[in-house]
Each structure stands twice: as structure tokens, then as C-alpha cells.
Chains A and B, each alone.
With several copies, the nearest count.
Chain A
Amino acid sequence: MTQTADVTASALDEALVQWLLRIGDTSLILGHRVSEWCGHAPVLEEDIALANTALDLIGHTQMWLGLAGQIEGKGRDADALVYRRDAMHYRNLKLVELPNDDMAITVMRLFLFDVFHQALIEGLTQSKDPRIAEIAAKALKEVTYHLERSSDLVVRLGDGTQQSHDRMQAALEHLWPYCGEMFWSDAVDETLADAGLAPHPDRLREGWLATVQDILTEATLKAPEGRLDVHLGGKVGRHTEHLGFLLAEMQFLQRAYPDADW
């Protein structure tokens, strides 16, 4: 009995580490993309707001990956996980690694992700793992604010000029086939859900669709008819061609000066 319980605990920990990498990497990479706007946003208020969002996401990354490293028990802290893994070992959603392109893509991506993220974090405040619940509780106010802000921008730009409407619609079409990965699940997600540690991704789909639909309607935008789940694989390390370039840039100093302390 004890042995079985031990095996189960270790299998759970393994799944938990994977799950934490997924959520932590997703925060990191989205934060990175958002931070690329620093100094280049269309209006000063956006420079400030985007930097703020990036800061929140980097903060979440520190917590999620810190916990991942701790549970993994191989002496890797959040920085080691961030700066010393190559693309095939990253577990973020593909949605967040796509280039920013323009503010329409940036805003629309934040919105599509924030709807999911807010529901996920809210669910995680009820996690049976107090470490997860605690991080979620810290993050909840921030992600709720992110969602407010991005929904508001989607409405204003969707229902703005013809050009802003068209750009937002095009961004939506571009990003839609990447959204299904948020609800995709495998044994890792099953394990976490069964143990009461995290909501099953599948359970978040319906609420996401409803909220997204509401906001799109208000924004006079139209949900695409194509499949949501065309681009899967990020959660198991099969990424787009963009991630490698992002990491090469992000990791340069740690890779080039492995002995240095910063």
C-alpha cells in the first residue's frame, strides 16, 4: 500500500512539474512578447499598460517555475529553467509565441488568452494543492484586470474605424486556429484534474466561447468558422519556428557567460 501510494505521489509530482512548466512557460513567453513593445507602443498609456502586463506575467513565471524547480528537485530554480532549456523542452502554448506583428494581433491575443487565463486562475484558487492555490490567489487580481483591459480594447478597436475593425477581425482570424490548444489535454491534465489540483482544460472551453462571443458581438466582430484546434503541440514541446529565435535572444547572456552571476 505504502509503496503504491509513493509511486502515485511521484507520478503526481511528475505530472505536476509538467503542468507547472506549461503554465509558467506560457506566462514567460507571453510576457516576453508583450515586453517587446516597450517604447514602441502607439500611445504612451499603452507603453505603460503593456509594461505592466509584462511585469505581472514575469512575476507569475517566477512563482510557477520556482515551484516547478522545487518539486522537480534537481536543483534548477526558475532562472535555470528559463535560461537553460532549448525550445523542444519548452511547454508553452503556441498561441503566445507568435510574433506581435501589430497591435491588433497583440491586443487580440491578450484578450483571447486573458479570457482563458482568468477562468483558469480563478479555478486554481480552489486547488487542493495549497502552493498552487496561493500563487493563484496572488495572481487573480492581476489577471482579472488584464481581462478587463483587453476586452475593453477589443470592443473599442472592433467598433472603432473601419480600419481598426478590419485589423481586429484579421487578427482574430489569424489567432483563432491556435486557441484550441488552451483546451487540449493529455494525461498530465487528467492527472491534475483527477487529483483536484487544477480544472480540466476541457471544462473551460464553454465559458471561454461564451465570453469571447459576448465581447466579439459588442465589438461588432465575427467569430471565425474554422477549427479552433489546428495548431496543437506547444504543450508537449512541438512549437512554431518562432520560439527558437525568441529563446536565442532571451537566453544569450546566460548561454554566453555560463559562469557569471548577475
Chain B
Amino acid sequence: SPEEQAFQDRIDAGERIEPRDWMPEGYRKTLIRQIGQHAHSEIVGQLPEGNWITRAPTLERKAILLAKVQDEAGHGLYLYSAAETLGESRDEMTQKLLDGRMKYSSIFNYPTLTWADIGAIGWLVDGAAIMNQVPLQRTSYGPYARAMVRICKEESFHQRQGYHIMMKMARGTDAQREMAQDALNRFWYPSLMMFGPSDKESVHSAQNMAWKIKINTNDELRQKFVDQTVPQAEFLGLTVPDETLCWNEEKGGYDFAEPDWNEFFEVLKGNGPCNAERIGARQKAWDDGAWFRDGLSAYADKQQARRMAAE
């Protein structure tokens, strides 16, 4: 249609789409799904890290971790707001999260078993997230792009803090080094999975790229992540759990083993180590908090009625 053509022309010209602009239904729906899923990931992502707040080994680490988890809740807030500009409310999206109609990043279905996991999440998981998110600062939808700018800035702090934890552990006692290596072993492949399966031939992907909702292919980002991360692991003196890993001079990047995509799809289906726990925790927070939310909104209604009566 001419409208669609005009819309595509604006995108091609590098213009930002804003909430009141006309947009194709597919663009709107895809964005709601993508931004909503990203928001949910921030929210659910509080849980594996929150798991160690009460056990952080020093006051400073505790404060840093608290601040990080708080940032994630803040990111969730920006992102829900961005999605709401597209016409879906936060509560609707939350319902869809709880009943399984919307997803969150599968990485958060893995448990945090030692303090080193908090380091690994910052280093690897936030590292992968940044890799995904940096290009999205140039995404075509204005509110989303602006949210990404704020988020990327904070995420890079988080990544550095995570790497610092890993450094302390990798250069610490034998027990600490063992935990650090074990964390890398457990989080390496799930981190690679964060970019999703190869999408070279996906039609869906092509449309999203045309719309500038997606900027790079999954494989490009994954390669970039590996190339960035392997030297960091070497610097820590840790071993990436991939015997096939080696530098490929020709392509100027590492060759590496694919993660087990079967595991990826199993986790997606709900068979990850913590799927039930994560959604269970969010459901419990939602249910237990109903009286609280109801109380606040009843008060707001009363206040409004009082104001109106006073006029």
C-alpha cells in the first residue's frame, strides 16, 4: 500500500517512527512482542541475581549487586513504557508473561549456584545483551531506541563489575578459581544461545531488518561476542569449555562450537532448570501483591472522589 511504502521510505531515510505516526500492524505487533519480551527479561532477570543479594560476600559487593538489580527493574520500567506507547498495557503484558503467551530470555532459566555466577552473568550475559542492544540504539522506533541508549550505558557498567568479580575469583584461592571456571563452564553455551539460532534464511528476520527492528543477524552478533570474550577469558586464565575453539586467521575471528540447540528448544518449551521456579516466583509476587495494588488504587479512587466532592 502507499502508506506502507511511505513508512518504509521514512525508515530507509533514517527517520524515527514515533507513537502517533502511522505504522503497519505487523510492525506494531512485532515491536510489542520484542520490547515486551525484553522488558520481561529484565524483570525475570532480577531473580537469579537477587538470589545472591542476601549472601553477597562483602558490603560493597552487596551494594553493587543491589544497585544492579535495581537498574534492571528500572530498565523493565522504561521498556514497558516504550511498549505501552504501542497500545499494550503493562498489566496485559504481565498476564501474558505469567500464562506463557510471552517469553523472556531463556538465559534466566539457568540457576546461580555460586558467587562466581554473579560474575559470569555480568561478564557473559550482560556482555551478550550489550552486543544485542548496542545496534538497537539505532532502531527505527523512537521510544525503543531512546530506552536502549539509557540501558546500554548502564549495562556496560554491569559488565565491568561482573568481569571484576570474575577477576577476583580467578586470581583468588583455589576454591574461588574452581568456582570461576565452573561458572564459565555452565554459562558459556547458554550465553551463545542468547543470540538465537542462525537466522540467515529467515523471512521473518529479513522483514525485521528492513524495518530496522533488527539490525544484525544472530550469527554476526554471536561471532562478535565470541571474538570479544575469548581474549577476556584468556586474560582471566580461565578455559572456555570448547575444545574446538581456535583462531581463524582467514575470517579474522574464532571458529567455535555451536551450542546444543536441542537444549535451547527444550528450555524454550519449559524444560530448563528453572523455568517453573522463575514463573512461579513472578506469579507468587503478582498474587501476593494483589491486595497491595488494589489498596493503592482504591485510595486513588477515593482521593479523586474527595477532590471532586470538594469542587
Contact = CB atoms under 8 A, between A and B. Distances in A.
Contact of A238 (B56, B80, B186, B281): B186
A38 B63 contact: no
A257 B298 contact: no
Contacts of B288: 42, 102-103
Contacts of A254: 57-58
A61 interface: yes
Interface in B255-301: 271, 273-274, 276-277, 281, 284-286, 288-300
Interface residues of B, number: 66
Nearest to A156: B299
Given A44-B73, A262-B58, A241 B51 contact: yes
Contacts of A257: 57, 173, 175-176
Interface in A70-108: 78-79, 82-83, 86-88, 102-103
Nearest to A48: B73
Contacts of B168: 261-262
Interface in A219-262: 227, 230-231, 233, 238-241, 244, 248-250, 252-254, 257, 259-262
Given A244-B113, A262-B61, A51 B289 contact: no
Question: Residue among A51, A103, A165, A250 with the most chain B CB within 10 A?
Answer: A51
Contact of A161 (B63, B67, B281, B291): B291
B298 A164 contact: yes
B292 A262 contact: no
Nearest to B271: A230
A255 B30 CA distance: 50
A262 B115 contact: yes
A82 B59 CA distance: 8
A21 to B, nearest CB: 15
A257 B168 CA distance: 14
Contact of A39 (B55, B59, B182, B285): B285
Contacts of B297: 160
Contact of B77 (A44, A51, A161, A164): A44
B54 A87 contact: no
A59 B62 CA distance: 10
Contact of A157 (B53, B90, B284, B292): B292
Contacts of B77: 44-45, 48
A159 B302 contact: yes
Interface string B173-201: 10110110010001000000000000000
Contact of A248 (B51, B55, B289): B55
Interface range on chain A: under 10, 10 to 19, 20 to 34, or 35 or more?
Answer: 35 or more
B182 A88 contact: yes
Interface stretch (B42-50, B130-138, B226-234): B42-50
B187 to A, nearest CB: 12
A88 B69 contact: no
Nearest to B94: A44
B66 A55 contact: yes
A42 B292 contact: yes
B172 interface: yes
Given A177-B271, A238-B186, A103 B289 contact: yes
A57 to B, nearest CB: 10
A155 B47 CA distance: 30
A55 B59 CA distance: 10
Given A102-B288, A238-B113, A262-B61, A160 B299 contact: yes
B66 A38 contact: yes
B74 A39 contact: no
Contacts of A103: 288-289, 292
Contacts of B60: 62
Contacts of A260: 57, 172-173, 175-176
A32 B54 contact: yes
A202 interface: no
Contact of A250 (B55, B66, B69): B55
Interface of A: 32, 35-36, 38-48, 51-52, 54-55, 58-59, 61-62, 78-79, 82-83, 86-88, 102-103, 155-157, 159-161, 163-165, 167, 174, 177, 227, 230-231, 233, 238-241, 244, 248-250, 252-254, 257, 259-262
In the A-B complex, list the 7 residue pairs whose CB atoms are closest, starting with the nearest. A42-B289, A164-B295, A160-B295, A39-B46, A51-B70, A38-B50, A262-B57
26 contacts: A39-B50, A42-B288, A43-B293, A45-B77, A47-B73, A48-B70, A55-B63, A59-B63, A88-B178, A88-B179, A102-B288, A160-B296, A160-B298, A163-B291, A163-B295, A164-B291, A165-B295, A167-B291, A227-B271, A231-B273, A239-B113, A241-B112, A257-B173, A260-B176, A262-B58, A262-B172
